[in-house]
Structure 1
Amino acid sequence: MDISKMDRYAAPVPFSSLPLLTVVLGGVGILLLAAFTMIQVTSTKYSRDIVKELFVAFSSSIFLGFGSVFLLLWVGIYV
């Protein structure tokens, strides 16, 4: 197998869009984290809804996870 005949690898996400993806996904994740915190602080023991809490927590973790991955890619730590 000759390396010179292989195609060069192209990343699925262009490097120029990494800062935007980092800021947007991280910002949405932090807003959802704040919403989850407000839900926990303002609800009583009898008014809690586990489905809503799990949905907000899961959404926040997904956005913060992808935001962290794009942050690492942006600064040059290739994961």
Structure 2
Amino acid sequence: MDVNTMPRYTGPISDAKFPHLTIILCATGLLFASWFMVLEVTSNKYNRSILKELTIASLAALFLGFGTTFLLLWVGIYV
């Protein structure tokens, strides 16, 4: 099999969509992170819920992680 005749690999997500995905995912992650910070500042020890805190923090980390990955891909650092 000749390498020159093989089709070039392209990723499942187009390069043109990286900026949009970066902005949307990072904005959503920052929204969840700010919600988590407001929740931590305004709640006292009697009305805290560990499940709610872990859920919000996990969502913030997930969205910010994927947003950072697409930011790196957008600027040309292929991870």
TM-score range, shorter chain: over 0.9
What residue ranges of structure 2 are gaps of 5+ in the alignment?
A: none
For these two proteins, the number of residue pairs brought into alignment is: 79
Cα distance, 1:2 vs. partner? Answer: 2.2
Structure 1 residues 1-79: aligned runs within 5 Å: 1-79=1-79
TM-score, normalising length from structure 2? 0.96
Distance in 2 between residues matched to 1:35 and 1:14, nearest whole Å? 31
What residue ranges of structure 1 are gaps of 5+ in the alignment?
A: none
Give per-residue Cα distances to partners, 1:38-60, cap 9 Å, x unaligned.
01000001110001000000000
Cα distance, 1:26 vs. partner? Answer: 0.1
Aligned-residue sequence identity (percent) comes to 49
Distance in 2 between residues matched to 1:2 and 1:17, nearest whole Å? 32
Give per-residue Cα distances to partners, 1:13-48, cap 9 Å, x unaligned.
111111000000000000100000001000001110
Distance in 1 between residues matched to 2:15 and 2:5, nearest whole Å? 25
